[in-house]
Structure 1
Amino acid sequence: MKRLKHFKNKYVITSIVFVVYILFLDDVDVFTIARQEIKLNKLENERALLLDKFTETKNTLEQLDNTKALERYAREEKLFKRDNEDIFVIVKED
């Protein structure tokens, strides 16, 4: 009976209702915050990957200032060829 005595107090009841509302019923509840944190972590990881790709592409672009380096890149990466030659692509299967 002593336990029920505390629940008759209007301040305790109001506090409990307030806490339940804040944790579960509000627009920004605990579950929404957790989902947003997960989404933020995924976006930060994706941002890091994109920054790595960007720096790699920037370095490649800086190296392509030389004409011979540009031709080498075009031949190796994009499989460009001269008019009088054939290209054989060898694919290594595991």
Structure 2
Amino acid sequence: MKQLKFLKNKYKVTFLIFLIYALFLDDVDVFNIVRQQIKLNQLKEERAILTERFKETKATLQQLDNTQALERFAREKKLFKRDNEDIFVIVRTEKQK
């Protein structure tokens, strides 16, 4: 009986239909908004990481202006070598407990 009383009021029924449409059926529904917010947060985190990496790369590039620093970087980081020279790479692994 009480439910039928609620449905007799056309304003309440219209509001209920609009609410269901706005929350679930519209292009910009609640689920879409939440998904987009999560994606935005992930992109902000990724942007912060990439900005930090960019700063590190820019600092490294500024250090490589002279040839001695460039040669040192190439030999240490990229494992370049001179002619008639051998390179031995020792990799240290941590023991598992």
- The alignment's TM-score, normalised by the length of structure 2, stands at 0.91
1:7 and 2:7 are equivalent in the alignment: yes
Give the secondary structure class of the aligned counterpart of 1:81. Answer: coil
> Which runs of 4 or more aligned residues in structure 1 lie more than 3 Å from their structure 2 counterparts after TM superposition?
1-4
1:82 and 2:63 are equivalent in the alignment: no
Give the secondary structure class of the aligned counterpart of 2:62. Answer: helix
CA distance in 1, matches of 2:58, 2:41: 26
Task: Give the unaligned 5+ runs of structure 1.
Answer: none
Q: Tell me the number of residue pairs that the alignment of Structure 1 and Structure 2 aligns.
A: 94
Q: Name the counterpart of 2:43.
A: 43
Identity of aligned residues (%): 68
How far off its partner does 1:93 sit? Answer: 1.2
Cα deviation, 1:21-52, whole Å, max 9, x if unaligned, reads 10011111000001101111111111111111
Cα root mean square deviation, aligned: 1.1
